Amino acid sequence: MRLFKLLLLMAITAGFFYFLNFSQQIGATRLPPMGKFLSPFAGFWQNGTQVDQLPTALELPELREPVDVVWDDRHVPHVFAKNAHDLYFAQGYLTARDRLWQMEFQTHYAAGRLSEIVGERALPLDRFQRRIGMVYAAENALKGMQEDPEGREALEAYAAGVNAYIAELDEISKPLEYKILDYSPEKWQPIKSALLLKYMAWDLTGRNNERAMTRTLAALGPELTDKLNPYYPPMQDPIIPSGTKWDFEPERAVMPANTTPPLDDVAVEQHQPDPFIGSNNWAVAGTKTAQGHAILANDPHLRLRLPSIWYEMQLSMPNLNVYGVTLPGTPCIIVGFNESIAWGVTNAGSDVLDWYRIRFKDASHREYWHDEQWKPTIARIEEIKIRGAQAVIDTVFYTHHGPVVETGSSTNAESATVPGAAMRWIAHDSSQELNAFMLLNRARNYDDYLQALRAFDSPAQNIAFADIAGDIAIWHNGKFPLRWKGQGRFISDGTDPLHDWQGWVPREDVPHIKNPQRGFVSSANQHPTDESYPYYLGWDYASFTRGARINERLMELRAITPQDMIDLQNDALNLTARNLLPAMLAAVESQNLTEGEQKVLNVVKAWDYRNNAIQAAPLIFDRWRRILYDLMWSDEVIRADGNLQWPRSDVTIVTIIEQPKNNFFDLKATANKTESFEDIAFQAFRQAKDELEAELGPIGKPWAWGKASGTDILHLAQIPGFGRTNLFTSGGSGIVNATRKYNGPSWRMVVELAPAGVQAWGIYPGGQSGHAGSYFYDNMVDDWVDGRPYALLFMRSVNEKNEKIVAKTQMRGQP
């Protein structure tokens, strides 16, 4: 019996030892070695201490001269260096100090390496990232960026700074996420900075609808397809004012005799970027402002995460003093201002990605048919390492179009060839976007801004500009393929060279305007021009609503102040409701309503069209509109063999307002009745009311827009408890304050370009620190929800005195 007890005790001890020192798989969740995680000496307890303590001095041998860092009360570092090497070294070190895990995790995601951290569940995503050529794109971009000596120096110095911080880490100081996920950081290389830029490029330009549009064309024919999703949508208020004259002779792409796309396209498992990526920016001339100074505003709309996508900094050295936000992992300031200019970006939305149907000679995929001949592919072997499992080998075949993301499994009986789908993406090409930002960081006037834009190819952006001389401008900037009208709207024929990109739109011909007569420039991802513009750049731009509302307010306002611009960024007017709701109300008011239905309708009737968080009317309208759209279009777009492209929202609005008897309102399910708009509007209202009551109870406080449809900011790895959820936000989709469940303004910035001294305000929904135990992890979230940006401390010298300064650190090389 004693022996049995002894053996049992030894077994329990061994099991406990194993549990504490090795990771455990429980269902789909893998736990870290709990001994390391719970250790009072090196576990998560240590991450709750000292993360906000700032050193007064740092010895870093790689520095050539001392660097001074001034910390303000929001943990923003203001970096003063004497040379470029030390400036970007310090930027890399300080960013890693606050955001190392985020930087690393995002590069693993971009490179298709998440399986190394979380195991087999990430394999489909990793395979897709490899197949779309993310590393290939980063390699090409790095070559381009390193052609410029200053770009090479910045990338290498930044990497050295990151690695200097990594070298200081031990098990105690390692960021908490490494302990939870049980892995360690690896050495930073310049390719990782390039990967982060491509990660952002895919987020902004990777979304596409060629397959859905091709299915729509096959099902509905060209006339109805073009009617539901026109080349130029109605109600547009373009970036470049309508009626602008184009003083150039355009180059023309040769259109093939047959533009009908291959209708038997290859299915591609796609991990699409978020469809609600967008942004607002505008610049107002001094003739419209209270103080006579130009004012610029910008708020990029992105997926919201903790740690935040942005990191706020000031970078200063001789001939450079710039402030703004940067992407953690990349040098320079991406959106910001200096002592002379300010710039802001929105996504251009023009088409820079096409899918091609490839005809392979056989199942080996070694040759493909193009221009009446068989051409060789280039095979790239991808080894995907998987934690706790054997590595997976995947071969990606590259054509002159780009990587073949998916190959068909069956042959065409008539030709005995194998189909495939290749992706042509502008971000695969060599580029110099980092060099463009370096030029913007030190630009002094419009000519300098223009020089910087010429170096920027991808992702295409609307880049607004203002300077202390009073100039304002905007360029729909990027490297755009020279296309025939409609090219890339559907799956393209990969065998015909006339379906290839036939050159580039000359940079001087891309849409732009400087100092317009109306006194402002603006963009909100809408169509860049009216129909007179002679080049075809794409068709699927954002709805008119945000752009029209911004332009409406800027036309109305006089003696504009920075506070007016802050108010406009927080504007919650629902232009869709202002256009649609009168017709919807008229359709329902004539019906026999129950007491409960009348009560709900009265709430909407009293609404001022603003999506304020405390109101119930925005929630009622939103649900009502969604059901109405579904009833209106489901017969046309929902198919057993794959959904078709949904009609544009502006087409829906025009159809409702101008054609209430259109056949689109007739429901096929009711064979003995022909519905009109009034019929389905009432049906949608009743269904919306019933659904909301079932979910939230009788109309009351739970129906508040901000409570029922608020915003969640999740942790980047979705670790429970590390995010901020149920934020009581105003605004919504298609509204200037473009908050959604997981998206919203990721950085709000307003800059007044006064010659005597630039002033600026800014905020993002997060905090400077990436450490969940830090006060500065999410300290700005509540003020962001309330629309209260901070006055930014833009220092002119390291010796400047200001009550916001809380600490100073000197970084110096060892003697």
Q: How confident is the model at residue 307 (pLDDT cuts 50, 70, 90)?
A: very high
In this predicted model, which residue has the larger pLDDT, 667 or 460? 460
Q: What is the pTM of this model?
A: 0.93
Tokens for 337?
Answer: 């201002």
pLDDT for 479-507, tens place per residue? 999 999 999 999 999 999 999 999 999 99
Give the closest residue to 744 by CA, choosing from 550, 570, 575. Answer: 570
Residue 266 has pLDDT above 60, yes or no: no
Average model confidence (pLDDT) for the chain? 92
Residue 129 has pLDDT above 80, yes or no: yes
- pLDDT at residue 261, rounded to an integer: 86
Residue position matching structure tokens 């170096």: 455
Q: H-type helices in 274-354, by residue range? A: none
498 is a domain residue: no
Give mean pLDDT, residues 586-608: 95
Residue 27 has pLDDT above 60, yes or no: no
Apex CA 657: angle with CA 582 and CA 617, to 5°? 30
Tokens for 437?
Answer: 């930002």
d(CA 99, CA 309): 10
List of long-range contacts for 146-154, beta carbons under 8 Å, 24+ apart: 146/190, 147/432, 148/432, 148/435, 150/84, 150/435, 150/438, 151/432, 151/434, 151/435, 151/438, 153/84, 153/85, 153/88, 154/84, 154/88, 154/331, 154/332, 154/434, 154/438
d(CA 735, CA 743): 13
Residue 276 has pLDDT above 80, yes or no: no
- pLDDT at residue 415, rounded to an integer: 41
Give mean pLDDT, residues 662-683: 89
Domain that holds residue 617: 575-708
The pLDDT > 70 percentage for the chain reads 90
Contact between 86 and 176 (Cβ < 8 Å):
no
CB-CB neighbours of 221 under 10 Å: 10
Residue 15 has pLDDT above 90, yes or no: no
pLDDT for 519-559, tens place per residue? 999 999 999 999 999 999 999 999 999 999 999 999 999 99
Residue 470 has pLDDT above 60, yes or no: yes
- pLDDT at residue 410, rounded to an integer: 42
Residues 6 or more apart from 590 whose CB is under 8 A from it?
A: 678
769 is a domain residue: no
Q: How confident is the model at residue 777 (pLDDT cuts 50, 70, 90)?
A: very high
- pLDDT at residue 412, rounded to an integer: 41
557 is a domain residue: no
Give the closest residue to 357 by CA, choosing from 190, 210, 220. Answer: 210
687 is a domain residue: yes
Give mean pLDDT, residues 292-302: 98
Give mean pLDDT, residues 687-710: 96
pLDDT for 40-79, tens place per residue? 444 554 555 567 889 999 999 999 999 999 999 999 999 9
**Amino acid found at 314:** Q
637 is a domain residue: yes
Give the closest residue to 786 by CA, choosing from 613, 615, 638. Answer: 613
CB-CB neighbours of 585 under 10 Å: 17
List of long-range contacts for 361-367, beta carbons under 8 Å, 24+ apart: 361/417, 361/418, 362/416, 362/417, 362/418, 363/411, 363/418, 365/395, 365/397, 365/404, 365/407, 365/418, 365/420, 366/397
- pLDDT at residue 217, rounded to an integer: 92
Q: How confident is the model at residue 677 (pLDDT cuts 50, 70, 90)?
A: very high
Residue 619 has pLDDT above 50, yes or no: yes
Residue 28 has pLDDT above 60, yes or no: no
19 is a domain residue: no
| The dihedral formed by the CA atoms of 240, 241, 242 and 246, expressed in degrees to the nearest 10 | -50
Give mean pLDDT, residues 422-428: 96
Residues in the chain: 815
Cis amide linkage into residue 233, ω under 30° from 0: no
Give mean pLDDT, residues 96-117: 98
What are the CA-CA distances from residue 71 to residues 364, 397, 807 (Å)? 59, 50, 5
The pLDDT > 90 percentage for the chain reads 83
pLDDT for 381-404, tens place per residue? 999 999 999 999 999 999 999 999
pLDDT for 233-265, tens place per residue? 899 999 999 999 999 999 999 999 988 888 765
- pLDDT at residue 671, rounded to an integer: 80
- pLDDT at residue 278, rounded to an integer: 80
d(CA 749, CA 569): 9
Report the sign of the C-alpha dihedral through residues 82, 86, 88, 90, in that order. Answer: negative
109 is a domain residue: no
- pLDDT at residue 441, rounded to an integer: 99
Query: What angle separates helix 149-168 from helix 433-441, to the nearest 10 degrees?
Result: 90
- pLDDT at residue 264, rounded to an integer: 64
d(CA 323, CA 314): 4
Least confident of 108-112, 426-430, 589-593: 589-593
Contact between 205 and 427 (Cβ < 8 Å):
yes
Count of domains forming the chain: 1
181 is a domain residue: no
Residue position matching structure tokens 């980063």: 138
pLDDT for 310-323, tens place per residue? 999 999 999 999 99
d(CA 759, CA 111): 39
In this predicted model, which residue has the larger pLDDT, 273 or 339? 339
Report the CATH number that the domain containing residue 704 is assigned in CATH.
Answer: 1.10.1400
CB-CB neighbours of 442 under 10 Å: 17
- pLDDT at residue 119, rounded to an integer: 96
Give mean pLDDT, residues 418-437: 91
Say if strands 367-370 and 711-715 run parallel, antiparallel, or are unpaired. Answer: unpaired
Q: How confident is the model at residue 655 (pLDDT cuts 50, 70, 90)?
A: very high
d(CA 324, CA 311): 8
What are the CA-CA distances from residue 27 to residues 30, 123, 125, 379, 613 (Å)? 8, 17, 20, 37, 39
